[in-house]
Structure 1
Amino acid sequence: MTTSLPLVDLVIEARWVVPVEPAGAVLDQHAVVVDGGRIVAIVPRAEVDARYRARNRKCLPQHVLLPGLVNLHTHAAMSLLRGLADDLPLMRWLQDHVWPAEARHVSAQFVHDGTRLACAEMLRGGITCFNDMYFFPAAAAEAALASGIRAAIGLITVDFPSNYAADADDYLAKGLAVRDRFLGQPLLSFCLAPHAPYTVADRSFAQVLTLAEQIEVPLHLHLHETQQEIEDSLQRFAVRPIERLRRLGLLGPTLIAVHAVHLETQEIELLAAHGCSVAHCPSSNLKLASGIAPIARLAARGVNLGLGTDGAASNNRLDLFQEMRLAALLAKERDGRADAVAAHQVLRMATLGGACALGLDGEIGSIVVGKSADLCAVSFDDVALAPCYDPVSHLAYAVGREHVSDVWVAGRQRVENGRLSEGDESGLIGMALLWQNKIRP
């Protein structure tokens, strides 16, 4: 009798399920069964009705169901600075435009509003988790919780004063208080986020490392983004930044090296030997003319890779489908091999790779029984996606974020038919326009 079957919260039926684990798998005509916010089964569609009763059912006949995307590096609140100063090299962009604008305008309200705007953009593009680095992290945490997205909140440290904190000691003390305040929130995790070797002194790095070991969180920092950064380090410290971090003891399995564009062979070996992860941000690197990271060589040495958008001020989109396509194409050109980075590999970077870097791979990043139901559905019912011989190829090379139809975070639907399930999108646009009028030069 059907009444004896287990009752579950949700059954999602899809034309294809791409679980990411095991690697290379594509499940045809399958269903993902969700209960209590977790994946409890992955079964052929023909069997699901004989095994489960569902309170809710979602049928996706022309869709791919995949894990929610993980944005491994962003400055979410900088959505409010999107397009403020374009077509400039990194340090001029920072020193002449971004940092002065931040000094004038960044506040807890700025961070809350900018992060809410970013969360809406990311959710609609299939991103269910983001790794943030910015001032006023409590405001970012509150915005993420209000949006229903998963977030790794970066507890930033720099050696200069800001509207948020006076010095490195103040940044760390305030960051630790933020972690303590939100520690019980299941959708939040934390990273210590010393900004970069050129903004953090040796003493501050030592404090960060001690604290990271005590509270067992990842380290998230910009590293080897530009050639100028390396030249400045050679002048100030007589070593390249990675070697400086090695001497300070910061290289290790918890380190997320953002950008890692300019790497010598021995530096790739160092990152691999210490089990570091790299957050590859191809659009931002191209826009700022920073270079192209050697991700095929990093992958060949076993370095864990994830994808990041960076902030909307330097991209100018929070779009991981764009980053997947660029990452794969740029790697092919850089290495002169069409197979340098393949479709399944770049999809792993956008999902499980980011989860591994954050220490969340037991919870998210793949469609596996027991994991949280952080899921993204992509509709292939579009003339621009026909025909389809290989759905993973389409995800890497043809799909745009506009094809995302539905998104779930911990089993709760956050996007339905391409629109936010909750929240006022027109209100967010109005809020952004108010900030535009304040910030406009």
Structure 2
Amino acid sequence: MSLGEPMSGDCIIEAGTVLCGILPDGTMSMRHDVGLRVAGGMIAQIGPLAAVGYGNDHLARFGSPDMIAMPGLVNSHHHFGITPLMQGVPFAPLELWLPQFRAMRQVDVRLDTLYSAIEMLESGTTTVQHINSGLAGAPESWMATADATLKAYTDIGMRAGFSFMIRDRNILTYDEDAKALATLPEAVRNWIAPKLDASNIPIADLMTFYRALRESWFDARPDHVRFNLAPANLHWCTDECLQTIFETARETDAQVHMHLLETERQSSFAHNTFGHSAVQHLKALECLGPNVTLGHGNWMSRADLDIVADCGCSMCHNASSGLRLGSGIAPVNEMRRRGIPIALGIDQSNIADDRDMTLEMKLVWALHRETGLWNDRPDAGAVLQMATEHGAKTVGFGGFTGRLEPGQQADIVLMDRRKIERPRMSARTPVAESVLHRGGRHAISQVFVGGRLVVDDGKVITIDREAVLAEIAERLKHPETEGETATWEAIDVLLPHLEVFHRKFTTTAGYRPYRYNAMADQE
């Protein structure tokens, strides 16, 4: 597909039930036995099928009375396609997991992007916040990487927010890289030092690139791409770096997505370095506001959440990531009590090591039940709102997509009610509950983005999915090269030294109760 080809369709979509979105009172707005007329990629009309279809016999028709229509899902925190587990990297605490990424085999950017995009679309995700892991090398390679990524999303038919993680310090540990390098054997130091140098790019140069990328793509795809900024984390960014990023965000009206307080060690870093929490530090720097989404937030205190709510920030909850890496459980119920909008992200992959948001939603619902008879827990509708409307806002598509109502983009997932309710579902069961708990990839019939059919009979149809998967398999099946083996050997030498470094700066020894992290000991 060329950039000049249309990405929206005009059609009529029939559904027995439409989950339109959450109302201000927290209930799900629904329509029954209706048609949705799509014009120019936008929902133009929802009403009785006969009325919607009147005078529109020329329009393509999809769906049936057996379909449940819901807004396309949003993966609000995503990095890359082929997962670390697939590449031989076992799960470990974040600080000892990320360094091993350097040994993973490089996959063609387009193929890698398409791989996870296939998984997302076929499980109902129509929009993604793509956070490139970080730029290195020459500026021309940055543009090639961004172009390949965005072209892949364009070809497959997804909406995407694009950003790249920005760091200017403490890449190896939570202390100066020079100190960590000094502890390493010479061979490993000589191996990794040039890699750190390659990623040491002046922040002004990155902001210049961000503006150029935005200018080159946004006018061509204003409905399908957003360009956001991603300061990697507080321990990875100096104050000067953060202030430059946020000034650029204000000037370009961009969303900012920042990893924050993912692990206990990150919380300790802020208190040890600044004498107060990471959230307090960002507030002091005037780096919090309605355009800011904080990813993870596992170790936020109640006082932190008060600040986040007061500043109008959103949170992105990455439930699978926190569990699989032992990072912790975000205090979602405390966030909801303060009215903080919460989006959902799958991060690198979910508990099934893929990008199925319908599975992630089930986990989120279950994880935040908490004990007690009278708890205010998120119901199915609340979780659906996190994965749709709230997610769209954090990516930069707020008010544009995320709900099914006239004036919104026609990003629509059709689930087959017969597959959800087989063999029989009581009429008393709320539809949103049945969709959350019994719906999933198996029940998805069709997916539309801007009214354009991108998934049919549960499979992506906009690209040759089998050819993509076959090419990836072909490229990854070859034995390790000598260089790849040498990289793994260097990582094996590096990790014990990093462990020593982290043990030195770990404030809590031994076992930590698996509760709500910073709130575990608070009333």
**How high is the TM-score relative to the length of structure 1?**
0.90
Q: Distance in 1 between matches of 2:390 and 2:420?
A: 31
SS of 2:121 mapped into structure 1: helix
Paired with 2:259 and 2:230, the residues of 1 have a C-alpha distance of 9
Contact 1:156/1:175 (<8 A) preserved: no
Question: Which digits, 9 at most, give the CA deviation of each residue in 1:80-118, with x for residues without a partner?
Answer: 7646323311111112x12x236xx55xx6332211111
**Corresponding residue for residue 470 of structure 2:** 430
- Checking the alignment, whether the CA contact within 8 Å between 2:320 and 2:346 is kept in structure 1 is yes
Aligned partner of 2:164 in structure 1 is 155
> Partner of 2:217 in structure 1?
182
Residue 206 of structure 2 is aligned to residue 167 of structure 1: no
- Which has the larger displacement, 408-417 or 196-205? 196-205
Shift in alpha-carbon separation, 1:152–1:30, aligned structure 2, 3 A: same
> What's the counterpart of residue 14 of structure 1?
15
Q: Which amino acid aligns with 2:89?
A: A
- 1:348 is aligned to 385
Between the aligned partners of 2:358 and 2:475, the Cα distance in structure 1 is 28
What are the residue-to-residue correspondences of 1:293-332 with 2, within 5 Å?
293-312=330-349, 316-332=353-369
C-alpha displacement of 1:240: 2.1
Do the aligned partners of residues 327 and 168 (structure 1) sit closer, same or farther apart at CA in structure 2, a change above 3 Å counting? farther
**Which of 257, 269, 273 is matched with 2:294 structurally?**
257
Residue deviations 1:163-192 (CA, integer Å, cap 9, x gap):
985424233332322212112113101110
* Aligned pairs (5 A) from 1:184-333: 184=219, 185-186=221-222, 187-312=224-349, 316-333=353-370
Structure 2 counterpart of 1:55: 59
Q: Distance in 1 between matches of 2:466 and 2:198?
A: 29
Letter in 1 for 2:201: D
Contact in 1 for aligned 2:63/2:414 (Cα 8 Å): no
Distance, in Å, in 2 between the alignment partners of 1:93 and 1:57 is 48
Of residues 132-141 and 26-35 in structure 1, the stretch that sits farther from structure 2 once superposed is: 132-141
Q: CA deviation at 1:158?
A: 1.5
8 Å CA contact 1:78–1:311 kept in 2: the answer is no
Following TM superposition, by how much is the alpha carbon of 1:390 offset from its aligned partner in structure 2, in angstroms?
Answer: 2.1
2:34 is equivalent to residue 30 of structure 1: yes
Of 307-316 and 259-268, deviating more is 307-316
Q: Residues 201 and 431 of structure 1: is their aligned pair in 2 closer, same or farther, counting only changes over 3 Å?
A: farther
From the superposition, tell whether residues 101 and 239 of structure 1 become closer, same or farther in structure 2 (CA, over 3 Å): farther
AA aligned opposite 1:278: M
Task: Report what 2:181 is aligned to.
Answer: none
Alpha-carbon spacing, 1:376–1:332, altered in 2? closer, same or farther (3 Å): same
- Secondary structure of 2:108's counterpart equals helix
User: 1:162 Cα deviation (Å)?
Assistant: 6.2
Structure 1's 237 and 432: CA in aligned 2 closer, same or farther, altered over 3 A? Answer: farther
Name whichever of 235-244 and 44-53 sits farther off: 44-53
Equivalent in the alignment of 2:492: none
**SS of the residue aligned with 2:455?**
strand
Shift of residue 337 of structure 1? Answer: 5.2
Return closer, same or farther for 1:414/1:272 CA change in 2, 3 Å cut-off: same
Is contact 1:385-1:394 (8 Å) kept? no
Q: Select between 314-323 and 274-283 the one with higher mean Cα deviation.
A: 314-323
| AA of the residue aligned to 1:265 | R
Q: Report the Cα offset of residue 17 of structure 1.
A: 0.6
CA contact 1:82–1:313 (8 Å) conserved in 2 = no
Partner Cα distance (1:337, 1:439) in 2? 56
2:404 match: 367
Return the alpha-carbon distance in structure 1 between the equivalents of residues 127 and 38 of structure 2: 19
Name which of structure 1's ranges 156-165 and 321-330 shifts more when overlaid on structure 2. 156-165
Q: Tell me how far apart the structure 2 counterparts of residues 259 and 426 of structure 1 sit (CA, whole Å).
A: 34
138-147 or 344-353: bigger deviation: 138-147
Q: Distance in 1 between matches of 2:464 and 2:85?
A: 21
Is the 1:153–1:190 Cα contact (8 Å) retained in structure 2? yes
Does structure 1 residue 40 correspond to structure 2 residue 77?
no
Give the counterpart of 2:153 among 144, 152, 163: 144
The 8 Å contact of residues 163 and 227 in structure 2, kept in 1 or not, is answered as yes
**1:5 corresponds to which residue?**
none
Q: Which runs of 5+ in 2 are unaligned?
A: 1-8, 135-144, 172-194, 481-487, 489-523
1:4 aligned residue:
none
Opposite residue 263 of structure 2, the aligned amino acid is T
Amino acid of the structure 1 residue aligned with 2:244 = Q
Q: Is the 8 A contact 1:322 1:400 kept in 2?
A: yes
Which of these two proteins has the greater Rg computed from alpha carbons?
2
Shift of 1:364: 0.2
Cα 1:78–1:369 shift into 2, 3 Å: same
Match of 2:459, as an amino acid? R
Equivalent residues of 1:66, 1:367 under 8 A apart: yes
Which of 103, 113, 116 pairs up with 1:101?
A: 103
**TM-score scaled to structure 2, two decimals?**
0.77
Correspondence 1:73 to 2:73:
no
Alpha-carbon separation, structure 1, partners of 2:420 and 2:81? 35
Shift of 1:343: 0.8
1:332 aligns to what SS in structure 2?
Answer: coil
1:396-421 Cα offsets, whole Å, 9 max, x none, are 22212222111111111100111112
**1:381 pairs with 413, 418, 432, which one?**
418
Q: Greater shift after overlay, 299-308 or 350-359?
A: 350-359
Q: Secondary structure at the match of 2:237?
A: coil
Residue 190 of structure 2 is matched in structure 1 by none
- Pick which of 155-164 and 354-363 moved more: 155-164
1:334 to 1:257, Cα distance in 2 relative to 1, 3 A: farther
Shift of 1:195: 1.1
- Closer, same or farther: CA 212–138 of 1 in aligned 2, 3 Å: same
Alpha carbon RMSD of aligned pairs, Å? Answer: 2.4
Q: Give the equivalent residue in structure 2 for 1:116.
A: 114
Distance 2:373 2:470 in 1: 46
Q: What is the alpha-carbon distance in structure 1 between the residues aligned to residue 278 and residue 87 of structure 2? A: 30
Q: 1:430 to 1:112 in 2, by over 3 A?
A: same
Count residues in correspondence: 428
Tell me, yes or no, if the aligned pair for 2:316 and 2:344 is still in contact at 8 Å: yes
